[in-house]
Amino acid sequence: MSKRKIVVALGGNAILTNDSSAKAQQKALEHTAEYLVQFVENGDAIAVSHGNGPQVGNLLLQQEAAHSEKNPAMPLDTCVAMTQGSIGYWLQSAMAKALKAKGIDKEVASIVTQVVVSEEDPAFKSPSKPVGPFLSKEEAEKQMEETGAKFIEDAGRGWRKVVPSPKPIDIKEVKVIKTLIENDIIPITVGGGGVPVIKQNDDYIGVEAVIDKDFASETLAVSIEADLLVILTGVDNVMINYHTPDEKVLNEVTVDEMKKYVDEKQFAAGSMLPKVEAAIKFVEGNPKGKAIITSLENIEAAISESGGTIITR
């Protein structure tokens, strides 16, 4: 098989275990890196993206707890950049270690990536993504009155601030990413969906929003003209009729078949649905491209394009 250009999107389970300490997350990423290096051994050029939901949520809690006039909490776009930096640092260290163990001389670089969204995106009028700490109803009402932020009651656990989740339209650092790949360097990029920015004249302004990691990975894959988008999650295959007697594993599926399953509401919003939608969008935007949704542990099958859920035109 000739050298392919591949975007590998890591799910949260590739980074975070039940222990959210830095040491535990670094250990999890060392395990993840041992799988990712198999793409490099196969001769593929990879770009790696990752989520940051739990990490940015924990950081927001820490920011809120330490907030004072002299030490104000950082805004959400800055927190996304901070977690891009920390996870990128852990992952590039883990990848360097795994590459060295295999005798592969290759550099890895993390990029604090800004992802452009539209100011006109309807998500800005309908914030829906819960972030940050749980508050009482009284605390939430006070925050809403003082800041104009929107809060919702979240699953009986308290009230949480909700922010927009706009769709990505461009990646500001795409030339840098392409340059790294062309020079045989592995980029770690669009972490946590990227830092959300809007373009105003010739400037880029950070906004309080969270971009879905899978859609950002799809935008990255299209931007670098990848041959394959691999979305790693907690299961080997996508399923329909999940947790019913008619449960069915999906192996090779066309875009049209996947769209039918989406219309049937087969996939959970906020879980498998964005992965499926991102995969569909990538394959539609790249006639030669394929997308695979599978688990980290099933990565050998993804590399050989013989397992997982493979989505084609």
Which residue out of 5, 12, 206, 259 is catalytically annotated? Answer: 12
Three-state SS at 264: coil
Query: Token pair for residue 63?
Result: 């920011």
Determine whether 275 is an active site residue.
yes
Which residue out of 213, 237, 286, 307 is catalytically annotated? Answer: 213
Beta bridge partners of 163: 129
Determine whether 129 is an active site residue.
yes
Determine whether 290 is an active site residue.
no
Q: How far apart are CA 170 and CA 195, in angstroms?
A: 12
Burial of 228 (0-12, 13-18, 19+ CB in 10 A): buried
Determine whether 213 is an active site residue.
yes
Which residue out of 11, 57, 88, 129 is catalytically annotated? Answer: 129
Which residue out of 275, 286, 290, 307 is catalytically annotated? Answer: 275
Tally of CB atoms within 10 A around 106? 14
Tally of CB atoms within 10 A around 187? 28
Strands of the sheet with 159-163, listed across from one edge:
129-135, 159-163, 150-153
Which residue out of 13, 42, 58, 298 is catalytically annotated? Answer: 13
DSSP string for 186-234: EEE-SGGG-EEEEEETTEEEE-S----HHHHHHHHHHHTT-SEEEEEES
Amino acid identity, residue 142? K
Closest to 217 measured CA to CA, from 259, 189, 185: 189
Dihedral pair phi/psi, residue 64, rounded to 5°: -65, -40
Q: How far apart are CA 214 and CA 271, in angstroms?
A: 10
Q: How far apart are CA 28 and CA 22, in angstroms?
A: 10
Query: Token pair for residue 188?
Result: 């770690």
Catalytically active residues are 12-13, 129, 213, 275
